[in-house]
Structure formats: structure tokens, C-alpha cells
Structure 1
Amino acid sequence: MAKGVAKKVKDPNAPKRALTAYFIWLQENREAIKKPGMTATQVAKAAGAAWRELTDKTKWEKKAEDDKKRYDREIAAYKAH
């Protein structure tokens, strides 16, 4: 970290950020992708390759859109206080 640059403190009461379609998909598919002995990096690379090969992502894009709306509502309420 550069000298004189203070780290921004995250408010623990702030709402969680919205997940992207990829991360929602990954939560649902991580166990199917993961094989015994794989490192986190190997799982991430395999997941990225599987995501790129996926042709119909609308299910997860819809969930990501809904999560974005949830986050927008929660952050508006959070900032109002």
C-alpha cells in the first residue's frame, strides 16, 4: 500500500453488494465443477471455461437483475438513515 493512503473502512451495517450473473451461477454449480484435490485457482479456471461455453445465461441474468434491484432498495434505505 502506498504511503499516506488510508484504507477505506467498510461499514458492517451496509447492505451486501449485488451479485453478478456469473457469481450466482457459480454458487449453484461450484460443487459440480469442483473435484477432489483441485485448488481454488483450478476451480475458478474450470468455472470460467464452463461459463464461457454456456449459451443460455438468461436464468442467471434475471436473478442478477433481481439482486441488483434488492441492493438498490437496501442501499437507498441505508443512505436515508
Structure 2
Amino acid sequence: MADGRDGRKATVDPKLLELLACPLTKGPLTWDAERSELISRVAKLAYPVRDGIPIMLPAEARTIAAEDALKPPPRLGGPS
């Protein structure tokens, strides 16, 4: 899924991901690269990233199913 008009997939800088928090729960977020969304497992919400900009508005978030919230977070690429 592309995040913007140029057709490229969005990426989120891992350092930015460490700073961002769910606006409702103030809890951590995980990155879903396949859907270009930031996931709040506690709130069961997926915040979209459009044109590389996280849209951190609960009204813009998609509700995720309970079983999706329980999936382990994806590993970020990079050296191990």
C-alpha cells in the first residue's frame, strides 16, 4: 500500500517511533509497513501515515481487531 501520491511505501525513522506515543493511552506504537500505519495495541487503533506524516488523530484512526492487537510487533530492519 502506498502512502502518498508518488506511489512509494512510507517509512518511519526508528528514532521517531521511539518518541511517538498513542494520543489516547500515551503508550508505545509499533510500525506496520505493509499498511503504512502506526499501531496502538492497547487502544486497538491504527493511525495512518500519509505522505510520510503520522496522522495522530483518534478520529482518523482505524479500529483493529483484538487478534491483530495481540500479534507480536514486527522487527525493525538493521544490524542485529
Same fold (TM over 0.5): no
Structure number with higher strand proportion: 2
Ranked by relative contact order (alpha carbons within 8 Å, sequence separation 6 or more), the top structure is 1
Question: Bigger radius of gyration, 1 or 2?
Answer: 1
| TM-score interval for Structure 1 and Structure 2 normalised by the shorter chain | under 0.3
Structure number with higher helix proportion: 1
